[in-house]
Chain A
Amino acid sequence: MASAPTSKDVQSVSGITVRLAGDSGDGMQLLGTQLTNTSALAGNDVATFPDFPAEIRAPRGTRAGVSGFQVQFASEEIFTPGDTLDALVVMNPAAMVTNLDDLRKGGILIANEDGFNDKEFKLAKVEANPLDATVVQDTYRVIQVPMTRLTRDAVAEFDLGTKLADRCKNFFAMGLVYWLFGRSLDPTLRFINNKFGRKPEVAAANEAALRAGWAFGETTEAFGESYQVDAANLKAGTYRNIMGNQALAWGLIAASKLSEKNLFYGTYPITPASDILHELTKYKNFGVRTFQAEDEIAAVCATIGAAFGGSMSVTASSGPGIALKAEGMGLGMILELPMIVINVQRGGPSTGLPTKTEQSDLLQAMYGRNGESPLPILAPQSPADCFNVAIEAWRIATQCMVPVMILSDGYIANGSEPWRIPTMDSLPKIKIHHPEGTDPDEPFMPYARDEYLARPWAIPGTPGLMHRVGGLEKEDKTGNVSYDPMNHQHMTDTRAAKVSRIAEQIPAQEVYGEATGDVLVVSWGGTYGACQTAVRRCQEAGHQVSHAHVRYMNPLPANLGELLRGFRKVLVPELNTGQLRMLLRSIYLVDCIGINKVQGKPFTVTELVGSIESHVATASRPTAESNAG
C-alpha cells in the first residue's frame, strides 16, 4: 500500500534540483539513487551527480567525510543535474557548511537537528550552531526535523537497538523528501523488500521509518504545501535509469553479442573505473571472462594476448593506470590487433583527485605513447551514450584492426539518466572475418591490407597461417622484422593513414543551431549537458550561438574545420586547461577561445552562460581585423 495522496496544497513546478548531504556512513548515495529511480519511474527526465570523498570512511562528522548526491528531475528535457539547489537535505553541520553555498535564496534547507550538537560543531569546525545564524534563517526556508529521535520512535517496536535503529534515519529522510515532492513510496518499498527480505525486522523498520518521514511531512506545520513535477515529454519507448559505467559494461556485452565474440575484460582496480569490472563479472553466462590482473600493465598485456587469440578484448583504467598501460597500447597499435582501452578520467596529475571529474587526459590519449602511434578515440557525451560508444568502438576496432580508446569521465561514469532501451534486433551486427588456411604455395601475408588498410585477423589454431608478430618494426606484407628505412617510413605512414581515414566512415559533425554565425561552442565528453543547456539559454535570449559537441576525438569529423571557420568566435569549454582547444588550433589553424575549469567539479550552466554572453557581445560586430581584410 503506497502513500495516500496529500491533503495539503500541491504546487506544480517544471523541475526540482535536490541535494542530499551527510556523513559518508549516512546512506546518502542510497537515498539519492532511490529518489532518482522513483522520479524516473514517475516519467520525469532525471540527471544525477553523486559526489563522495576518496576516503572510504573519512573521520565521521568532518567536512572531509561529507558525501552528497544531487538529482534534478523535471517535466522538460534536461541535460544536467542542475546548478543551484531548490532543496538541500543535511544530516550534520559539516554537510550544511560545505553545501549551503549552492542552495538558492529562498530554497528549502531541511536539517536533521539531532545531528546539530556541540560534538558535531567541533568535528565540523564551526563555532556555533550554523542553523541559528540570522543570515541563514533570513535567506532560506529552514526546516529543522529531529530525524534521529523520530526514527527511533518509529522503529521502537522492532527492538533493533540504538545503533541499528539510527541507521534507518536515511529512510526517514527519504520519506520526508518523497512527501515534499509528491513521490510514490512504492519503488522504495519494493527495494526494501528485495534488499532486506532476509532480515524481516530490518525491512520492517526501514519501511516504518520511510512511512514516518512521509507522515511527518503531511502533519508538520512546517510545510504548508508540497510540489508536483509532471512527467516529461520524452520520445516514446521503454525506459530505465542507467549509470555511465553500467551503460559501458552493457554496451561492451552487446558489442560482443553483435560480433559473435566472447568478451575478455582485463583490468586492475582503480577509481572511477572499477564499477565496470564489478558489473561485467556478474555476466559470465553471457560469455564474459573478467581478469583482475596484478597491475595495470598486466591488464593491458593480457588484453592484447586475448585479442591475439581472437576474443573481443577490453581493458579499462583511469589516468594513472593509462600512463602505465602506454607501452602496451603502443604494442597493440603496432601489432594492429583490435581491442578497446577505456579511460574513465579523473582529476590529475598523478593520483590527483580520484573521485572527482576532469577531462585532462585528452592529450595523453592522443600523444601519450612513444613513437608515432595514433589511435582512434571516442568520447561518450552522457551516461546513456556510453552504451552506443562501446559498440561503435568495437566496430571501428575490428574494421580497422586497431586499439580504440574511449574517454569517459567520473561525472558520466557515476551519473545517471533515463535510457531508452533498444532491442538487440534493432542494433546492426558487427561482421568479423578471420582468414582460413590459404594455398600452401601462397605464403600467408599477415600485414597485407584491405580497403580500410586493415590487416587480416588470423588467429592461432588456424592451420597454414602460422605467423609471428612483435613490437619491432615489421616489413610490409610479410610482417618479418625489418630495419629498412623506407619500409619504416611506409609502415608509419600506413598506420597513421589507417586511423585518419576513419574520418570517411564516421558521421559528419552535427551542429545545434545555425551552421554559421557569431559564436560556436565546441565541447566534448561529459560537458555535453552543461554546454547544451547553456547554448539553449543563450539562444532563447536571442543570441546567435550554436553548439557542436564532438564525440569522435580522433580522427575528428571531416567537416569540423569548415564548421569552425563559419563562425566569428569559437569557444571551447573544457574541464582542463585547454587540450581540445590546442588540437583545434593546431589542426585547423582557427583561433579558439578556451573556457576552462579544473576544480574537480562539472561546469554549471550559469557560469557557461556568463562566459558565452561575454563573448557574444564582441562577436556580433565585425572586428577591426576583419574590416581591414
Chain B
Amino acid sequence: MSLPVLKPADFASDQDVRWCPGCGDYSILAQMKKVLPDLGVPREKTVFISGIGCSSRFPYYMNTYGMHSIHGRAPTFATGLKSTRPDLMVWVITGDGDALSIGGNHFIHALRRNLDINIVLFNNRIYGLTKGQYSPTSVEGQVTKSTPMGSIDHPVSPLSLALAAEATFVARSMDAHVKHLGATLKRAAQHKGASLVEVYQNCNVFNDGAMAYAQEKKQRPENVIELEHGKPLVYANGKKGIRLVGTHLESVSTDDVPVDDLLIHDEKDSNPSIHMMLSRMSYPHMPEPIGVLRAVDNVATYDDQINQQVTDATAQKGDGDLDALFTSGDTWEVS
C-alpha cells in the first residue's frame, strides 16, 4: 500500500491566517507546508507546539495536531510529548522573546538533552504581539516603546546559545530567502536529535528592515555568507573569504589570499568551537552566516534513551508485577 501523496494545501487548517499583511511569518508558513509533504510523515503523526507571541499562532494554521501553549514553555511540552511518543514528529515554533527571554531556561535544556525535536525560532528582534517593546535580540541603542532612550541590553545570539548547550544541529535562514529556508527546514527535520533553526523574520510593523542588510538582495552578498559543508568560506560573489587566524576569524580578499588558505566549513566537527566562532560573526564587522553551522550525527537522543531504559529494565526484571511488589519485603498475616 502506498501512502497518499500530500500537497502543501493538505497541511493548511480551516482557520484564517491573522498575521499582519506583509509579515515574514507568511513565508515561513508557506515553506513549512511545502517541505512537509517531502518528509513522508503523515499529518496525524506531526505535531506543532508553540509558546506565546505572533509566531506562536503558527499551529492553528496547520492541519496537524498542535498545541498553542504558554509563554516560553513550548520546548517543555515537546519534551513530555516526544519522551512518551517517540513515533511523532514534533516541531516547536517560537520567537526571540518566547525562546530567549521568558523561555531561555527551557531552550537551553531541550537542546542539551538532544531531544529529537525541531525548534524553529522566528527572530524579528522585537516584541510584536505586545506592540513593540525591545526583545533579547534587539540591537544596543534600539529605540522602542519601552526604550525611548535606546536599549541598554546586550543582545543574545540564539546560535551561540544553542552551541553553548552543545545542540547537535544549529542553522540559520531567512524569510526572504525562500529556497534556502525550505532546504534548511528540511535538513532540520531530517536530523536525528535536537535541531535549532533561527529564521530572520521581518516585522514590517514594529521593526521594519531591522535585518535589511541581510534580507535585501542587493546588500546580501556583502553581509551574508552561505555555509556549505566541505566548502571554503567565500562570500561577496567570491571576492571575499573567511580565514582562521589563531583563535579568531577574519575577512580577507580572495585577491590577496588563495582559496586554499580559507576556512573549510566542517559542520560535522564534534567540537563546537569553530561553529561558535562562526555564530559570533555579525554585521557590520563581519558577514553573518546562514545555512547549517553544525550537524553532528549519532548522538544519543533523550527520547530514545528514556524509552530504552524502560526496555532494558523490563528485559532485566521482567514485566512489573504489582502483587509481587506489594508483598515484597516484610509482611505479616492477620487472621
A residues contacting B by CB (< 8 A) are 37, 40-41, 43, 187, 231, 234-241, 250, 253-254, 257, 262, 264, 266, 283-289, 291, 293-295, 297-299, 301-311, 313, 327-328, 331, 335, 421-424, 460-472, 480-481
Contact = CB atoms under 8 A, between A and B. Distances in A.
Contacts of B59: 468, 470
A306 B81 contact: yes
B130 to A, nearest CB: 15
Contact of B331 (A238, A266, A466): A238
Contacts of A328: 70, 73
A264 B70 contact: no
A240 B327 contact: yes
A335 B70 CA distance: 12
Interface in B81-129: 81-85, 87-88, 105-106, 108-109
A305 B79 contact: yes
Interface size class of B (residues with CB under 8 A): 35 or more
Contact of B319 (A266, A285, A423): A285
B33 to A, nearest CB: 14
Given A284-B314, A421-B327, A43 B334 contact: yes
11 contacts: A257-B322, A264-B83, A285-B320, A287-B320, A288-B310, A291-B306, A299-B76, A305-B79, A308-B67, A313-B80, A466-B44
Interface of B: 13, 15, 42-45, 47, 49, 52, 59-60, 62-70, 73, 76-85, 87-88, 105-106, 108-109, 306-307, 309-310, 312-314, 316-320, 322-323, 325-327, 329-335
A7 to B, nearest CB: 27
Nearest to A281: B309
Contacts of A241: 330
Given A306-B81, A463-B42, A466-B63, A238 B333 contact: yes
B256 to A, nearest CB: 48
B67 A470 contact: yes
B317 A302 contact: no
A65 B65 CA distance: 54
B322 A467 contact: no
Contacts of B307: 289
Contacts of A231: 334
A472 B312 CA distance: 41
A302 B83 contact: yes
A298 B103 CA distance: 10
B65 A287 contact: no
B106 A481 contact: no
Contacts of B108: 294
B334 A309 contact: no
B48 to A, nearest CB: 8
Contacts of B105: 294-295, 298
Nearest to A443: B14
Contact of A283 (B109, B318, B320): B320
B44 to A, nearest CB: 5
Contacts of A468: 13, 59-60, 62, 65-68
A466 B309 contact: no
Nearest to A262: B84
Nearest to A463: B44
Given A309-B88, A471-B70, A239 B331 contact: yes
A291 B80 contact: yes
A265 to B, nearest CB: 10
A421 B316 contact: no
Given A284-B309, A466-B63, A298 B109 contact: yes
Nearest to B68: A470
A421 B331 contact: yes
Given A298-B73, A468-B68, A469-B66, A286 B84 contact: no
Given A284-B312, A468-B60, 8 more contacts: A238-B334, A239-B331, A305-B76, A460-B65, A460-B81, A466-B63, A470-B67, A472-B68
Contacts of B66: 466-470
Contacts of A307: 80
Nearest to B59: A468
B60 A481 contact: yes
Contact of A235 (B45, B81, B83, B334): B334
A306 B106 contact: no
Contact of A240 (B44, B88, B106, B330): B330
A283 B318 CA distance: 11
Most A C-beta atoms less than 10 A away, residue of B43, B45, B81, B318: B81
